[in-house]
């Protein structure tokens, strides 16, 4: 800025010395015929320079507001260029990659994305002081300040058991809620923001034939606010929904549970034989929630998936699942912990949380065939229903269905990319997942 000012002063001084020549040159040229051609040329050049200087000064004055308006952009560009140059010069990126990864696989860094948590990274560090212990750190974020942070210590030994510790913080800033029951309407949507702090400790053992058992206990503190954004009303602004159990801050729950799993798949990725089976039961008790409600309930989950090889690596899979949630001692159940249909893991083609109730039943049929060595194309058909009591109230006519197609890309750690398009009575939905299995 100083250099521009100094240059401007020099130009003005030079122009001031030329003004007499510019004004009196014509008269003098007529009265004195003894002027040399060189003197005349010098005077003409001075006149021309003065004219150009006047034009340049006018342009500077006219462009001054534009220059001032663009100054923040110019400064930002300079700052970005300098930062990128410094990062490149100091080799920050390759040094960070070297710090977080290793050739022997002890340290790994994975990009992740899911519709629920957004985009981020997962870092794992194995071969700690314990035999099979592994540290995992996960960070993801998305629009409207959506955030998920997770710390996991997996497979550490406690006597004859393997221990897993999980500490998690979630702020899901724009979650949809349509009401309770299979008859909930799409037009009734409201949004809520859920803030959840969860800690859980599990002890388990691996048995023969892919069977594993676990006992677990945990604590969670949940706050509910109006959802971010203006596209839909906030849940606390709706007179009816604001009275739902759990539509408040300071819900505190302690849970205890047990599960048994069996994994008989021939390959963790791209299975063609075998299956996965899960049976899980857990109890939730109020741990001093701030509101007037008393939260006590239990949940039982059963999930079975089977795979069959057809021909030329074509395969068929069938999934059947059910979830049953019941109150204990006339306790309440938070609305966000009811059984849910709509996520990509349930009936595809609906918004997350589209249907909620105490019970859930669903089925999914999928046909898969390879299109490359590392990718499969698949077709699917899903169906499901929620109800207050799905055994007593099940109605085929109330079931909702979704169907579509997708592509799975496989990597060294299983499913790497999952792209799906699904149709339902609510319309079309697109799903994208990146290393989703690492986030469960």
pLDDT tens sequence across 246-278: 888 889 999 999 999 999 998 877 888 999 999
How long is the chain? 440
Please tell me the distance from the alpha carbon of residue 280 to that of residue 215, in angstroms, as a whole number: 10
Q: Tell me which H or E stretch contains 84.
A: helix 37-90
Coil/strand/helix, residue 287: coil
Instruction: Report yes or no: 176 and 354 within 8 Å, Cβ to Cβ.
Output: yes
DSSP per residue, 138-200: EEEEEGGGEEEEEEEEEEEEETTEEEEEEEEEEEEEEEEE--SSTT--GGG-EEEEEEEEEEE
pLDDT, one tens digit for every residue, the chain (440 residues): 445 444 555 554 554 454 444 444 444 444 444 556 666 666 666 555 555 555 555 655 656 666 666 666 667 777 777 776 766 665 555 655 555 666 667 888 999 999 888 999 999 988 766 667 889 999 999 988 999 999 999 888 888 888 999 999 999 999 999 999 999 999 999 999 999 999 999 999 999 888 999 999 999 999 999 998 888 999 998 878 888 898 888 899 999 999 999 999 988 778 889 999 999 999 999 998 877 778 999 999 999 999 999 988 899 999 999 999 999 988 999 999 999 998 888 999 999 999 999 999 999 999 999 998 889 999 999 999 999 998 888 888 899 999 999 999 988 778 899 999 999 999 999 999 998 877 77
Query: What's the pLDDT score for residue 78?
Result: 74
**Which residues fall within 8 angstroms of residue 325, CB to CB, at 6 or more apart?**
297, 298, 299, 333, 337, 338, 339, 358, 359
CA angle 278, 307, 412 (to 5 degrees): 85
- Determine the topology of domain 94-439 in CATH: Porin (2.40.160)
Boundaries of every domain in the chain: 2-90, 94-439
Please tell me the distance from the alpha carbon of residue 265 to that of residue 180, in angstroms, as a whole number: 36
Q: Tell me which H or E stretch contains 226.
A: strand 211-226
């Amino acid at each position: 800025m100083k250099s521009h000012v100094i240059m401007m002063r020099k130009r003005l001084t030079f122009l001031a010395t030329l003004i007499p020549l510019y004004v009196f040159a014509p008269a003098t040229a007529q009265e004195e015929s003894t002027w040399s051609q060189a003197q005349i040329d010098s005077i003409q050049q001075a006149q021309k320079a003065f004219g150009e200087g006047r034009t340049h000064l006018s342009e500077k004055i006219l462009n001054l507001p534009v220059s001032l308006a663009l100054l923040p952009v110019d400064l930002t560009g300079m700052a970005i260029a300098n930062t990128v140059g410094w990062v490149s010069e100091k080799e920050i990126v390759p040094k960070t990659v070297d710090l977080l990864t290793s050739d022997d696989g002890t340290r790994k860094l994975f990009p992740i994305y899911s519709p629920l948590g957004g985009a981020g990274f997962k870092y794992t560090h194995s071969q700690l002081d314990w035999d099979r212990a592994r540290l995992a750190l996960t960070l993801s974020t998305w629009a409207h300040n959506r955030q998920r942070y997770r710390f996991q210590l997996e497979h550490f030994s406690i006597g004859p058991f393997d221990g897993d510790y999980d500490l998690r913080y979630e702020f899901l800033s724009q979650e949809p809620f349509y009401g309770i029951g299979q008859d909930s309407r799409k037009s009734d949507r409201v949004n809520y923001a859920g803030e959840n702090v969860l800690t859980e400790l599990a002890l388990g053992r691996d048995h023969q034939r892919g069977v594993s058992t676990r006992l677990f206990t945990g604590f969670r503190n949940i706050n509910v606010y109006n959802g971010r954004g203006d596209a839909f009303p906030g849940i606390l602004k709706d007179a009816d929904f604001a009275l739902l159990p759990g539509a408040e801050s300071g819900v505190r729950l302690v849970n205890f549970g047990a599960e048994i799993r069996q994994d008989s798949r021939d390959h963790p990725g791209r299975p063609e034989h075998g299956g996965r089976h899960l049976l899980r039961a857990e109890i939730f008790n109020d741990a001093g929630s701030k509101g007037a409600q008393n939260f006590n309930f239990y949940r039982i989950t059963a999930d079975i998936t089977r795979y069959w090889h057809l021909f030329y690596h074509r395969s068929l899979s069938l999934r059947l699942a059910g979830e049953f949630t019941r109150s204990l001692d006339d306790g309440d159940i938070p609305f966000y912990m009811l059984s849910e249909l709509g996520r990509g893991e349930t009936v595809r083609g609906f918004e997350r949380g589209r249907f909620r109730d105490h019970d859930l039943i669903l089925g999914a049929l999928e046909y898969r065939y390879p299109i490359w060595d590392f990718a499969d194309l698949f077709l699917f058909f899903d169906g499901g229903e929620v109800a207050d009591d799905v055994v007593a109230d099940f109605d085929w006519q109330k079931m909702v269905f979704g169907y579509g197609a997708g592509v799975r890309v496989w990597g060294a750690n299983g499913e790497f990319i999952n792209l799906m398009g699904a149709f339902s009575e609510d319309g079309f939905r697109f799903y994208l997942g990146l290393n989703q299995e690492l986030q469960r």
